[in-house]
Amino acid sequence: MKHTPAQSATSLPRAPRDEAHTRMSKYFLMMSVRVVCFVLMVVITPYGWYTFVLAIGAVFLPYIAVVIANVGVDGRPERAVSPERALPAAAADTPPSAAETGVIRIQEGDAARPDTKPDAS
| pLDDT of 79 above 70 | no
| pLDDT of 22 above 80 | yes
pTM: 0.51
Average pLDDT of the chain is: 76
| pLDDT of 35 above 90 | yes
| pLDDT of 39 above 90 | yes
Residue 106 lies in a domain: no
Where residue 69 falls among pLDDT bands split at 50, 70, 90?
A: confident
Model pLDDT, residue 29: 94
Residue 56 lies in a domain: yes
Mean pLDDT (whole number) for 23-31: 92
Please give the residue range of the domain that contains residue 54. Answer: 16-70
Residue 112 lies in a domain: no
Residue 79 lies in a domain: no
Task: Write a three-state SS string for 75-88.
Answer: CCCCCCCCHHHHCC
The answer to whether 51 and 41 have CB atoms below 8 angstroms apart is yes
pLDDT: which is higher, 113 or 21: 21
- Number of structural domains in the chain: 1
The answer to whether 30 and 64 have CB atoms below 8 angstroms apart is yes
